[in-house]
């Protein structure tokens, strides 16, 4: 008491010099401040980093532990012909997956047996998947129909099996069967375009997948439905072609008959184009494959040859045969024109004024050019004829004379002006970019390619 009353100088540790007391106090405060900065500064910096610089990092990791993210596949856009016929559509189906860690131990074997039977999958492989007890996700079978999915659901309910997931999915279907396989193409297991229009317009046809976020409890199991969030899937855009289904049907019928009649070995091809706009009204390659089942070889002979092989040799041969049947001959193969080219020669000659529709020519059944004799087709002798008559009869001597009047330079200029040196740029994948032609400097008076 006394010491306290007597004031500062009475305390043993207090400094004798008055100024020194304040000095030490400041140092103590400074020391405490430094300590605080050292202790909490690190935390503040960390807080700053977490809150402002990396706001998503920890949240995302936490969400990953607490949420199950299930993709809801977006339906792919439909493809229609110009007249509204449905050519490609998406059908609802179900994909069966499993989270083995949620399946009760005593159900591992019975589930493997029952589900492999229902899903027509390998029992040993399924058992192997279920035996990985910590596994959270494995695929059992993609895209099964309603009946199969219901059978799976029934078995799980009757046996109280948990962890078997029946997820809604979509599957591509082509209602017209083997019509337009080469044109439409097809999709891969993930519903992405792999060939034809499906590939060319993949981005537009593909929608945006939705998601179901389901809260998981500490064990990783799904929480009740009120903890789930649905992000709706956005369907892909649909595509309407210039193809007219009726014209397409007629072209396919006629071409199939012609291919059969003439025993065509390397497939027949046909295109119907609107001459005013260049729009493709029909396009086909016969025989054509069914896009619902593109991997099966259509040609029976080729299929037998492939199946006679085994191992690596077979898979290579199968791949070659598939690539060949998927090829759209109408745009991927070079076409060597015959008499149809008379139209180009005629247009050029009319346009330059070298001839008029009434210009007269003589067909004596043959014509000699620089020592080489050319004959009119099928032994015809057309006699005196106008250009119009010569074109209607596809007379060879008439058009040899038209070509001579036009001249090789003008002929080549028009060949280029018609765009025959380049690809058409059609909106289909796999168009051949190469063209084969003679330039004027390589042309003699006789250009004779065959019989």
CB of 382 to Zn ion, least distance (A): 4
Give the nearest distance from C-beta 343 to Zn ion in angstroms.
Answer: 17
Q: 41 vs 338, which CB is nearer to Zn ion?
A: 338
Rounded Cα distance between 128 and 450, Å, is 65
Taking the complex as a whole, the smallest distance from the CB of residue 298 to Zn ion amounts, in Å, to 41
Measured from the CB atom, the residue of 77 and 403 that comes closer to Zn ion is 403
CB of 408 to Zn ion, least distance (A): 22
CB of 424 to Zn ion, least distance (A): 32
For position 367 contacting Zn ion by CB under 5 A, the verdict is no
Q: What backbone phi and psi angles, to 5 degrees, belong to 423?
A: -70, 160
To Zn ion, the closest distance from the beta carbon of 244 in angstroms equals: 36
Write out the binding residues for Zn ion, residues 148-177 only, by CB under 5 A: none
Our CA dihedral for 209, 214, 220, 221, rounded to 10 degrees, sits at: -110
Residue 396 CB, nearest distance to Zn ion (Å)? 6
Site for Zn ion in 42-101 (CB under 5 A): none
Count, residues near Zn ion per rule CB under 5 A = 5
- Nearer residue to Zn ion within complex by CB, 199 or 398: 398
CB 399 within 8 A of CB 361: no
Binding range to Zn ion, per CB under 5 A, among 102-110, 215-223, 392-400, 439-447:
392-400
Binding segment (CB under 5 A) for Zn ion, from list 35-43, 55-63, 147-155, 380-388: 380-388
Nearer to Zn ion, 235 or 365 (CB): 365
Q: Which two tokens stand for residue 138?
A: 């494995």
Q: Give the integer Cα–Cα distance in Å for 173 and 371.
A: 61
Does 395 engage in binding with Zn ion (CB under 5 A)?
A: yes
Which among 262-270, 341-349, 388-396, 416-424 is the span making contact with Zn ion, rule CB under 5 A?
388-396
Task: Name the helix (H) or strand (E) containing 60.
Answer: helix 55-66
Pick from 115, 239, 348, 363 the residue near Zn ion by CB under 5 A.
363
Nearby residues of 414 by Cβ (< 8 Å), 6 or more positions away: 344, 347, 348, 351, 352, 406
| Residue whose pair of structure tokens reads 């007391």 in the numeric block | 21
Closest C-alpha among 194, 413, 191, 172 to residue 323: 194
Look up residue 208 and give its two tokens: 């945006």
- Binds Zn ion by CB under 5 A, chosen from 376, 400, 402, 428: 376
Q: How many CB atoms lie within 10 A of CB 335?
A: 12
Tell me whether residue 67 or residue 395 sits nearer to Zn ion (CB atom): 395
Sign for the pseudo-dihedral over CA of 119, 124, 129, 133: positive
342 binds Zn ion (CB under 5 A): no
Span between the terminal Cα atoms of the chain, in Å: 135
> How far apart are alpha carbons 63 and 289 in whole angstroms?
47
Whichever of 379 and 450 has its CB closer to Zn ion, that residue is: 379
Q: Residues of 337-374 as b/e, b for ≥16 C-beta within 10 angstroms?
A: eeeeebeebbebbbeeebbeeebebebeeebebeeeee
Do residues 81 and 243 lie in contact, with contact meaning Cβ atoms separated by under 8 Å?
yes
Stretches 252-260, 356-364, 423-431, 433-441: which one binds Zn ion (CB under 5 A)?
Answer: 356-364
Stretch that binds Zn ion, among 39-47, 89-97, 376-384, 425-433 (CB under 5 A): 376-384
**Which of 198, 204, 170, 201 has its CA nearest to residue 75?**
170
Min dist CB 363 to Zn ion, Å, is 3
Tell the smallest beta-carbon distance from residue 450 to Zn ion (Å): 18
Minimum distance, C-beta of residue 365 to Zn ion, in the bound complex (Å): 7
Site stretch for Zn ion (CB under 5 A), options 19-27, 107-115, 232-240, 390-398: 390-398
Shortest distance in whole angstroms from residue 399 CB to Zn ion: 9
Between residues 281 and 363, which has the closer beta carbon with respect to Zn ion?
A: 363
Query: In this structure, how many other beta carbons lie within 10 angstroms of the beta carbon of residue 320?
Result: 12
Which of 327/380 has CB closer to Zn ion? Answer: 380
**Site stretch for Zn ion (CB under 5 A), options 15-23, 42-50, 316-324, 387-395:** 387-395
Q: How far apart are CA 262 and CA 286, in angstroms?
A: 12
Q: Is the C-alpha dihedral spanning 179, 182, 185, 189 positive or negative?
A: positive
Select 87 or 363, whichever has its Cβ closest to Zn ion. Answer: 363
Answer yes or no whether residue 382 interacts with Zn ion by CB under 5 A. Answer: yes
Q: Where on the chain is the footprint of Zn ion (CB under 5 A)?
A: 363, 376, 380, 382, 395
């Amino acid at each position: 008491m006394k010491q306290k009353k007597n004031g500062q100088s009475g305390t043993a540790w207090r400094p004798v010099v008055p100024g020194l007391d304040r000095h030490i106090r400041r140092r103590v405060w400074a020391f405490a401040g430094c300590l605080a900065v050292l202790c909490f500064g690190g935390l503040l910096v960390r807080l700053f980093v977490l809150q402002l610089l990396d706001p998503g990092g920890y949240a995302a990791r936490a969400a990953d532990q607490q949420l199950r993210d299930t993709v809801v596949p977006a339906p792919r856009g439909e493809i229609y012909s110009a007249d509204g016929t449905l050519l490609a559509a998406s059908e609802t189906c179900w994909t069966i997956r499993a989270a083995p860690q949620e399946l009760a131990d005593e159900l591992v074997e019975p589930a493997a047996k029952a589900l492999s039977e229902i899903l027509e999958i390998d029992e040993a492989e399924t058992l192997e998947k279920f035996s990985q007890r910590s596994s959270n996700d494995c695929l059992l079978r993609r895209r099964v129909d309603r009946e199969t999915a219901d059978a799976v659901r029934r078995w799980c309910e009757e046996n109280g099996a948990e962890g078997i997931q029946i997820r809604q999915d979509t599957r591509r279907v082509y209602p017209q069967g083997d019509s337009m396989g080469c044109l439409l193409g097809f999709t891969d297991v993930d519903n992405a375009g792999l060939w034809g229009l499906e590939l060319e317009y993949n981005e537009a046809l593909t929608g945006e997948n939705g998601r179901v976020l389901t809260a998981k409890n500490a064990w990783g199991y799904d929480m009740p439905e009120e903890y789930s969030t649905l992000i709706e899937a956005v369907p892909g855009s649909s595509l309407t072609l210039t193809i007219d289904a009726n014209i397409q049907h007629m072209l396919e019928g006629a071409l199939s008959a012609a291919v059969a009649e003439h025993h065509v070995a390397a497939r027949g091809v046909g295109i119907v184009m609107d001459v005013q706009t260049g729009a493709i009204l029909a396009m086909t390659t016969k025989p054509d494959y069914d896009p619902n089942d593109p991997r099966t070889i259509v040609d029976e002979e080729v299929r037998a040859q492939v199946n006679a092989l085994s191992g690596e040799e077979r898979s290579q041969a199968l791949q070659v045969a598939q690539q060949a049947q998927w090829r759209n001959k109408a745009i991927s193969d070079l076409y060597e024109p015959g008499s149809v080219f008379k139209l180009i020669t005629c247009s050029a000659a009319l346009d330059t004024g070298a001839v008029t529709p009434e210009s007269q020519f003589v067909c004596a059944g043959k014509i000699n050019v620089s020592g080489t004799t050319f004959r009119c087709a099928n032994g015809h002798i057309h006699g005196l004829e106008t250009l119009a008559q010569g074109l209607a009869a596809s007379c060879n001597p008439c058009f040899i004379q038209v070509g001579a009047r036009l001249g090789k330079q003008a002929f080549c200029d028009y060949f280029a002006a018609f765009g025959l040196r380049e690809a058409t740029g059609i909106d289909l994948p796999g168009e051949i970019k190469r063209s084969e032609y003679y330039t004027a400097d390589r042309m003699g008076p006789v250009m004779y390619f065959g019989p």
